[in-house]
A and B are shown apart, each in its own frame.
Chain A
Amino acid sequence: MNSTKANTPARPQQKVAPDSERRLLQIKDTRVWYTTVAGEAKVVDGVNVTINRNEVFGLAGESGCGKSTLVEGVLRLIKSPGYIKSGQALFTYPKDGNAGETTVNLFELGLGEIRPLRWQHIAYVPQGAMNSLNPVMRISDQITDAILEHGNSTKADATKNMLHRLEMVGLPPSVARMYPHELSGGMKQRVTIAAAVTLRPELLIADEPTTALDVNVQRVILQELLDIRKELNLTIVYVSHDMAVHAELADRLGIMYAGAMMEVGTTSQIFKDPLHPYTQGLIRSIPDISKERVRVEGIPGLAPSPLAWPTGCRFHPRCQFAKDVCRRVEPLLTETKPGRQVACHIYTDAWNEKSPGGTVQ
């Protein structure tokens, strides 16, 4: 697992590329809403985050905070009554081989333009993907069909490619001839990962790929994801509520709460020096099996509803530090130092001023 760190500097030592060159996907002020009888459900409501090349970016946050909706939005998979209310998702990729790179706003593409991007440049393993393999199709056909449909290769090449991908996720060639019901959950999940990366995409977005699996199998899959990343030079967005998995896998983490990004930092910063009171509560709540037993308190209160996020800071009803300003003004995600961002009034100059306030927006 050390490979995560060992990987990146393996190339000749260069100066760190300027930010603009490291960016692969820039998500700006993105909102994904649903129309319901009770009003607009603002499930994703103003997310800002940048994914850099070759990193494993962990997207964390409790159930229902909008993680899946965010990535579905980025992939343009939101179906009515959901819609992208506003924002940008700027994706930079090599168009037509190596003839330079181009940046597109995924939200502005027509569906005909986004579809080819999805397999070739952005791979996606949706939550629960392993249960949606076609039960009456052999594994080999499920993978080669995708290759043939989205790429331009011959049947023979597709078969070779398929077998190589299976090998990459540690599956023997015999699996190709099998049907989904003949495979264990872990094997099925590895098939979905293998299928997702057949066309050598730049980005893989995997949503809770190990959540339903046993810990032994989870460990194997995480290992394999890192191997694939190395071999294919992939960037991975790993979506999970499970902070322990992020601790093993992610280079950087984004913590979502109530449809917004609350904090971004390196995995080590988030675990050792969490800034946002929500992140602090989250980290505090993780039991540590390697340490003496201590009672921890969790985060009291209820997760808010996307139909009516709290005013001001969305976390204020559960926050022990909340002041008047927190109830009135929404704190913006702000950089505290390069690469480190938090959305909380505590880290603004206004916090210690006599009359808490600031301007109401």
Chain B
Amino acid sequence: MSTLSDQSVPVLQARNVTKEFATSGSALRRGHIAAVDQVSLSLYDRPPQIVSLVGESGSGKTTLSRMLLGLTPPTSGEVLYHGKNIFELNREEFRNYRINVQPVFQDPYGIYNPFYRIERVLQLVIDNFKLAKSRSQAHDMIEEALRAVDLRPNDVIGRYPHQLSGGERQRVMLARLYLLKPKIIIADEPVSMIDVAVRTLFLNILLDFRDKYNISTLFITHNLSTAHYLGGQIMVLCFGRVVESGDIDQVIQRPSHPYTQQLLAAVPSIDPDNRWTTKANLESIERPLTHEAGKCVFVSRCPYAMPICSQQRPPDFTIRENQHSACFFSEKIAVEAAAASEVR
């Protein structure tokens, strides 16, 4: 591929992608809803990076990841692999894309064939991509891959999928990626992986993949603490739009979008001596968000809203190097947030 070696070109890029779905509902109200609304993002492999895509349920996270994986075409905008639209790749390029952009699904149970032992998914990768010269080499590779994801080969080999926990199945998927060594992993935070201890093991593997094998990850989560743990970049998705993005430490210390602020305020503190002292505004939290082209998506719940917010879609403002926010008042909010974080 012509651009394959050009490091200034992202490995994977979404350029202004929008995905609309027809809405159900009464005939009068039926129309189109943008599950993902003009989102752009870039993933590089040199240096490898972790980007966390944070959003609540229904914010469009999974739809965006499906577009990046080529599982569903965008309504407008494009997904580029090494600068080339993924639907215009030739055979060889497409194969290359398929190998190098790998998903980790929420609950990988469905991917396993229940009648085959768990190590078969690893064996298949080795066979398909001719990674091993002999059976014994293949066996060694399988054991190595399982150890790389903190599984004891003796505990796992020979078991069937239903005999592993969700977290373990997930890690076997990572073992598969360890064998494939893709450039980009797109990981939807598994619902099954709810235990902290198990989640930590999983996240550490992603960090190791980045540091040892130059693998970048797009990590999709609703959990800001998890995103903070991984570090790197964050993109906050609200009702299909990216409302804030940038360096995660900056965003967490000085959130500059009211939605990010609200999310942060709702993260339980793990210090029992530092509990919430104020009440969340219940009424505003449940007011429905309306998705209209010429408006801010957050306007109905926003404590800062002014007339302009209902008249125009806020553009991306640059708050500082590597922090952007789609709010007309983001400068002011960032200053306030900084002042508040001094107090905390």
Contact = CB atoms under 8 A, between A and B. Distances in A.
Contacts of A336: none
Nearest to A62: B195
A184 interface: yes
A129 interface: no
Interface residues of B, number: 50
Contact of A187 (B56, B249, B286): B286
A244 B166 CA distance: 22
A355 to B, nearest CB: 30
B276 interface: yes
A4 B276 CA distance: 10
A215 interface: yes
Contacts of A217: 285-286
Nearest to A266: B272
Contacts, number: 141
A289 B201 contact: no
A247 B286 contact: no
Contact of A248 (B192, B269, B344): B269
B56 A215 contact: yes
Please indicate which of the listed interface residues A214, A243, A250 has the most CB atoms of chain B within 10 Å of its own CB.
A214
A186 interface: yes
B132 interface: no
The interface size bin for chain A is: 35 or more
Contact of B266 (A170, A219, A287, A290): A219
A336 B165 CA distance: 34
Given A285-B196, A289-B228, A244 B272 contact: no
Nearest to B197: A299
A145 B4 CA distance: 67
Contact of B270 (A216, A244, A293): A244
Given A62-B198, A295-B204, A244 B279 contact: no
A248 B267 CA distance: 10
Given A219-B280, A248-B269, A282 B285 contact: no
A220 B197 contact: no
22 contacts: A1-B277, A2-B275, A4-B275, A63-B165, A214-B56, A214-B222, A215-B222, A215-B223, A215-B266, A215-B268, A223-B280, A247-B269, A247-B272, A271-B270, A282-B196, A285-B200, A287-B196, A289-B264, A293-B231, A297-B204, A300-B201, A301-B152
